Amino acid sequence: MWKRIFPVLFSFGAVVICSVSCTSSKNFTEIHPVQDAHSYANTDSVVIRHLTLKLTVNFENRQLDGTATLHIENFNQARTLILDTKDLTIKKVTANGHTAKRSFKLMPARKVYLGQPLVIHLNPGDSLITITYHTAPEAGALQWLTPRQTAGKKHPFLFSQSQAILARTWVPCQDTPSIRFTYQAEIQTSPDLLALMSASNPTEKSPDGLYHFTMEQPIPSYLLALAVGDLEYRPFDARSGVYAEPEMIEKAAYEFTDTPRMMAAAEKLYGPYRWGRYDILVLPPSFPFGGMENPRLTFATPTVITGDRSLVSLIAHELAHSWSGNLVTNATWNDVWLNEGFTTYFELRIMEALYGREYAEMLEQIGYQDLKRVMGELGPDNPDTRLAIDVDDRNPDDGLSTIAYEKGRSFLKMLELAFGRPAFDDFLKKYFNTFAFHSMDTDHFTEYVREELVRHRRRVESRIHLREWIYEPGLPENCPVPDSPEFRKVDAQRAAFIHGRPAGELNVKGWTTHHWLHFLRALPKNLPRERLIDLDNTFTLSASPNSEIAFAWYQLVIPGHYKPALQHIRTFLLHVGRAKFVVPLYASLMKEKAYRAFARKVYEEARPGYHPVTYAAVDKLMSEKH
C-alpha cells in the first residue's frame, strides 16, 4: 500500500520523505511503518526505540522544562532526524551524551495543526539524541488548572491529552501511531503533589517531589501521558485501583469497584492483559473526554461518577483499548476505526459478561440510534461515513465521529452473526495475539479477515459485503438492527406521555440511566411548555446530578425554550469541560436566536476553565455564521 509522498525542504539539503510499502500479505507480522500524513518524521530511515524524559513541572509559568533523550535506530544511514514539534522552544540538541551542540532547525509548519518539523543533523553512529526544551503555556495537550478548578481548591493540577497529534506539544518525538517505543521519565514537581504517567506509577507522594517512571512495553506517542495534582490512591485488588483528589476518592472507589471483574471478563474473551497494572485516574471536570486509554492508567472524567455505577461502560471501553488500540494500534488516523470500532464492540461484550444481555442490548440500541442520527446528518454519500476515512489533509479530529465507533461496532457484530460467536471470538483472539505491539492499517486488516475468517467459509462471503462495509459510505443493508425489550417498555410510556398522560402517572419503576436516556432522546422537540414543566417537576431533570440525563434533557428543552433550565445549563457549562456535552450544548443554544447572547456570555466566563481541545472546538462553532 502506498501512502502519499510529500517533500520537505530544509537547510541540510532537499529530501523527499518516501513512503514504505508493506510486506507481502502472507507475512502479517512484519508490517513496516507506513508514512503517516500527520507526521513529518522520517520513520522510513530512523526510528525511536526508547525515550528518556526529564522534566520539571513549573506551575508558575505553565511550562514543562527539561530534556527528551531519544534512543534511535538509523537503519538507512540517514543524515537527519526529523521530529514532530508544536509550540516547543528548542534550546539545545546534543548527541551520544556529549556536550558538543548539534545543529538543528525548526522548519515552517506545513499546516498549523501539524506544528513544525525539527530537523536534527545526524552523524554516522549516533544513537542518543538529547533535546533541551520547554513547552508553551498554551501547549495543546496540556491543561494547567488553578486550585479553584479542582475539587480540593488548594492545589494546582496539570494533565495531558496526547491523542491524536498533540504529544508533539509537550515531547519532541515521532508523533505517529505507526511506530512505538518504551520510555522512562523523571518528573520534578512540588512535594505536595503526586505525579502519574502512562507507566509504572507511585501510590504515594514523594518527600522531594521527584518521581520516576518506566514503561516497559513499547507504545505509540499518542499514549504518552502525565498528570500532576493532589491525588490519593485506593486499590481494588492486587493489580488495579483508582487515583483521585481526596474529596473524590471515596465516590470513585465505590463507582468503579467492578474494575477487577471487567478485567477478568476481558481476559476470558481475548487473552491476557499485557500491561501489568490497570489503574484509573479521575480528573477534574474540565477533562475534555469521557476517557482516555493511557496504558496502565486510564484517564476518566468525573462526570461518569453518578453514585449508582450506571455509566461504568466507560471503564469497560477504556479497558478494552488495552487490546484494541494499545496492543494492536491503528497505523494512521485514517485507520482510527480499528481502534474505536473494535473497542466499542469489545466494551459491549464486557458489559454483557458482567451485567447480562438486557443491559448490553440497551447500550447497543443507544449506539445504533446515534449511528442512524449521525448517518442522517452527514448523509449516506458523505465520504466521512466510510470506515476507511481520509483525513490526510485535515486535523484527524475533524474526521472522527460516531461512524468509527458505531459503524465499526456494527460491522464486527455483523461478522459475529455471520460466522457465529465462537469462530469470531477465536478470530479476534488470534488477531490481538498475532499483531500485539504492532500497528495495523485498514487494507491489511481486510486481507487478514479474508485469510482467517472468510477463506474457510466461502459460502458466507457473498452475504457479508466486506468491501462495501469498509470502503463505501453509508450503512450496508445487512447492518444488524438491535432490539431492546427493555426499551420497548420505555417506548410505551413515552407514547402515553405524548398522548397526555401526566408524568406522575408514568410507570418508571426500576428505570436505570439508560431507560431515562431512551425516554428523553426520542421525545419530540416541540412539546408544549406545560408538559416540560410537568416532567421537570416530577423527575427533577434540570437539576439532575447525572450528566448524561441532564445533557439529554437540556438538548430537549433548549429548542423548546423552556427557560427554567437555563440557569442549570449555565452551571453545567461552567463546571463541565467534556467536549461531548459542551460543544453540542453551545451549538443548540446558538441555533436559538433568543439564546445567542446568553450562550456568548456563558462561554466568555467558562472558556478559561476549558482544555484547549474543548475551547478550540467551541471557538470554531462560535465563529461560524449564526
Interacting residues toward Zn ion by CB under 5 A: 340, 343
52 backbone dihedrals φ, ψ, rounded to 5°: -115, 115
The answer to whether the beta carbons of residues 509 and 266 sit under 8 Å apart is no
Q: Does 134 bind ligand BES (CB under 6 A)?
A: no
The answer to whether the beta carbons of residues 222 and 177 sit under 8 Å apart is yes
- Cα Dmax for the chain: 81
Neighbours of 121 (CB within 10 A): 16
- How far apart, in whole angstroms, are the C-alpha atoms of residue 581 and residue 564? 19
For residues 270 to 289, the per-residue mask of contacts with ligand BES, x marking binding by CB under 6 A and - elsewhere, is -------------------x
Which is closer to Zn ion, CB of 230 or CB of 347? 347
Name the burial class of residue 379, with classes exposed (0-12), middle (13-18) and buried (19+) by CB atoms within 10 angstroms of its CB: exposed
- How far apart, in whole angstroms, are the C-alpha atoms of residue 472 and residue 268? 34
Tell which positions 565-624 bind ligand BES, by CB under 6 A: 580
Which of 586, 579, 623 shows the shortest CA–CA distance to 601?
A: 586
| Cell numbers for 523 | 421525545
The residue with its CB nearest to ligand BES is 290
What would you report as the CA-atom Rg of the chain, rounded to the nearest whole angstrom?
A: 25
Stretch that binds ligand BES, among 15-23, 291-299, 483-491, 512-520 (CB under 6 A): 291-299
- Residue 367 CB, shortest distance to ligand BES, in Å, is 9
Q: Does 338 bind ligand BES (CB under 6 A)?
A: no
Q: Select the residue interacting with ligand BES from 400, 523, 541, 558 (CB under 6 A).
A: 400
Sign, Cα dihedral of 67, 160, 189, 315: negative
Which is closer to ligand BES, CB of 126 or CB of 318? 318
Binds 400: which of Zn ion, ligand BES, none (CB < 5-8 Å by kind): ligand BES
| Cell numbers for 16 | 523527499
- Residue 321 CB, shortest distance to ligand BES, in Å, is 6
| Cα dihedral value 525, 530, 536, 538, nearest 10 | -130
Q: Does 163 bind ligand BES (CB under 6 A)?
A: yes
The answer to whether the beta carbons of residues 269 and 421 sit under 8 Å apart is no
Q: Select the residue interacting with ligand BES from 141, 164, 327, 558 (CB under 6 A).
A: 164
The answer to whether the beta carbons of residues 336 and 403 sit under 8 Å apart is no
Stretch that binds ligand BES, among 12-20, 231-239, 311-319, 523-531 (CB under 6 A): 311-319
Which is closer to ligand BES, CB of 321 or CB of 515? 321
Which is closer to Zn ion, CB of 343 or CB of 588? 343
Count of residues in contact with ligand BES, rule CB under 6 A: 15
3-state secondary structure of 312: coil
Binds 163: which of Zn ion, ligand BES, none (CB < 5-8 Å by kind): ligand BES
Q: Does 314 bind ligand BES (CB under 6 A)?
A: yes
Tell which positions 379-398 bind ligand BES, by CB under 6 A: 397
Which is closer to ligand BES, CB of 47 or CB of 165? 165
Stretch that binds ligand BES, among 30-38, 313-321, 378-386, 492-500 (CB under 6 A): 313-321
In the block, residue with C-alpha cell 529530501: 15
- How far apart, in whole angstroms, are the C-alpha atoms of residue 9 and residue 106? 11
Stretch that binds ligand BES, among 232-240, 310-318, 370-378, 478-486 (CB under 6 A): 310-318
| Cell numbers for 490 | 420505555
Q: Select the residue interacting with ligand BES from 36, 230, 255, 293 (CB under 6 A).
A: 293
Name the burial class of residue 508, with classes exposed (0-12), middle (13-18) and buried (19+) by CB atoms within 10 angstroms of its CB: middle
Q: Does 318 bind ligand BES (CB under 6 A)?
A: yes
- Residue 160 CB, shortest distance to ligand BES, in Å, is 12
User: What is the helix (H) or strand (E) element at residue 236, kind and residue range?
Assistant: strand 232-237
Which is closer to ligand BES, CB of 293 or CB of 536? 293
Print burial letters for 86-100: b (CB count within 10 Å at least 16), e (below 16): bbbebeebbbeeeee
The answer to whether the beta carbons of residues 609 and 577 sit under 8 Å apart is yes
Query: Residue 186 catalytic?
Result: no
- Residue 403 CB, shortest distance to ligand BES, in Å, is 13
Name the burial class of residue 103, with classes exposed (0-12), middle (13-18) and buried (19+) by CB atoms within 10 angstroms of its CB: exposed
- How far apart, in whole angstroms, are the C-alpha atoms of residue 206 and residue 196? 12
Query: Residue 405 catalytic?
Result: yes
Q: Select the residue interacting with ligand BES from 118, 179, 195, 292 (CB under 6 A).
A: 292
Which is closer to ligand BES, CB of 285 or CB of 290? 290
Q: Which of 318, 352, 361, 364 is catalytic?
A: 318
Q: Does 234 bind ligand BES (CB under 6 A)?
A: no
Sort strands 297-300 and 278-282 into parallel, antiparallel or unpaired: parallel
- How far apart, in whole angstroms, are the C-alpha atoms of residue 226 and residue 90? 20
Stretch that binds ligand BES, among 233-241, 270-278, 315-323, 430-438 (CB under 6 A): 315-323
Binds 126: which of ligand BES, Zn ion, none (CB < 5-8 Å by kind): none
Q: Which of 405, 562, 586, 615 is catalytic?
A: 405
Binds 84: which of ligand BES, Zn ion, none (CB < 5-8 Å by kind): none
Q: Does 364 bind ligand BES (CB under 6 A)?
A: no
CA atoms within 13 A on the CB side of 16: 6
Residue 408, amino acid: G
Q: Select the residue interacting with ligand BES from 291, 302, 341, 473 (CB under 6 A).
A: 291
Active site residues: 318, 405
Binding site residues, ligand BES, CB under 6 A: 163-164, 289-293, 314, 317-318, 321, 340, 397, 400, 580
